[in-house]
Amino acid sequence: MISEIKKYVFKKGLPHEFELVNLAELYTNYFDDLTIPHRADFYQIIWFKKGSPTHIVDFNPIKIQPNSILFVDKNSVQCFDASEPIEGIALLFTDNFFCKTDYDTKFLRSSMLFNDLYTISTIEVHDLTPIFTSFFNLIETELTTNSDNYQSDILRNYLQNLLLLSERERQNQNSTQINKGTDLECVINFRDLLDKHFKEQKSVSKYALQLNVTQKRLSSATLKIMAITPKQMIDARILLEAKRLLIHTTDSVKEIGYTLGFEEPTNFVKFFKKHQTITPKEFRNRF
């Protein structure tokens, strides 16, 4: 039986798929769950007000500065620091909550906070503490009132403004910038498809067909935005999942190969060694 990285879905029974949680209380109540690798099918905006933990997101150790905000995309494998006490607040929400129109979907999928293709987004709050505090207080106040026909729209508007403020501050803090436009939109759509089908679909031509673009157009977009080809993006996505499964599950190398769509275990081993210079077993033992 193939094991899985623990995946959490959004809490049932709330008026909206939108929640504000206290980090210290979350640590107290779910410490053992948070400090092992896990996924969530929702977006997370985590404001670390106190503490300097090292937060792990998809093999990237992120040294958190006090009074900073981390943006974690849905389905990322993450792990909270077990050795560092923290205080703060986390805002959790789903696509179902935010994406009510095509504009909402495009806005969220083009936000560099969750879709920076180079790094995990963080911002240091600094002088903007009163403004961010105000937004979170408005959200908390609205969540404590009785739900009505207006509440969802009000919360979504607060969230959108919070994201816009965060993205502007991210740009001001000299993060890597990516020009928004048709190339970025094409790459994000490609990445969305890739996330859904990388295990069984590894052909660039099939992705281009589904995206209704030529292979040349897709290649032009990925080279401009990512400086790599579509094939390299496909290989990178397979490799990321292979690392996740090798480190965070007890599945055999053979089982992981089958899970990732390799009909022969030797083909998976050759693929992994080509990109990592070591075998899957050596990688697992090393980490």
Based on the domain organization, do 263 and 186 belong to the same domain? yes
Is 216 domain-assigned? yes
Q: pLDDT tier at 177 (50, 70, 90 boundaries)? A: low
Handedness of CA 133, 166, 120, 110 (dihedral sign): positive
Within this chain, do residues 33 and 168 fall inside the same structural domain, yes or no? yes
Instruction: Indicate if 149 and 196 belong to the same structural domain.
Output: no
pLDDT band at 244 (very low <50, low <70, confident <90, very high): confident
Regarding whether 191 and 159 lie in a shared domain, the answer is no
Amino acid at 47: W
Mean pLDDT, residues 180-197 = 88
In a domain, 11, yes or no: no
Q: What is the pLDDT of residue 249?
A: 86
Range of the domain at 254: 182-286
Does residue 276 fall inside a structural domain? yes
Q: What pLDDT shows up at residue 2?
A: 45
Confidence band of 267 (pLDDT split at 50, 70, 90): very high
Token pair, residue 251, equals 């599945």
The answer to whether residues 26 and 140 belong to one domain is yes
Which domain-ending residue is among 172, 197, 219? Answer: 172
What pTM does this model have? 0.81
Whether 153 and 193 map to the same domain: the answer is no
The arithmetic mean of pLDDT across residues 270-276, rounded, is 94
Residue 102 sits in a domain whose CATH number is: 2.60.120.280
What confidence score (pLDDT) does residue 175 get?
A: 56
pLDDT at 70: 97
Angle between helices 182-197 and 230-248 (to 10 degrees): 40
Indicate which CATH number applies to the domain containing 240: 1.10.10.60
* Nearest residue to 188 (alpha-carbon basis) of 237, 241, 115: 115
- Tell me the average pLDDT across 203-228: 93
Q: What is the pLDDT of residue 111?
A: 84
Domain termination residue (choose one: 172, 199, 216):
172
CB of 72 within 8 A of CB of 51?
no
Shared domain for 122 and 225, answered yes or no, is no
Residue 282: pLDDT band with limits 50, 70, 90: very high
Residue 220 and residue 144 share a domain:
no
Number of domains forming the structure of the chain: 2
Domain boundary among 172, 204, 224: 172
Q: Are residues 109 and 30 in the same domain?
A: yes
Task: Flag whether pLDDT at 269 surpasses 60.
Answer: yes
Average predicted confidence (pLDDT) for the chain: 91
How large is the average pLDDT for residues 53-63? 91
Looking at the structure, tell me whether residues 99 and 208 fall in a common domain.
no
Residues 45 and 165 in one domain: yes
Domain assignment of residue 23, yes or no: yes
Banded pLDDT at 178 (limits 50, 70, 90): low
Question: In this prediction, what percent of the chain has a pLDDT beyond 70?
Answer: 96
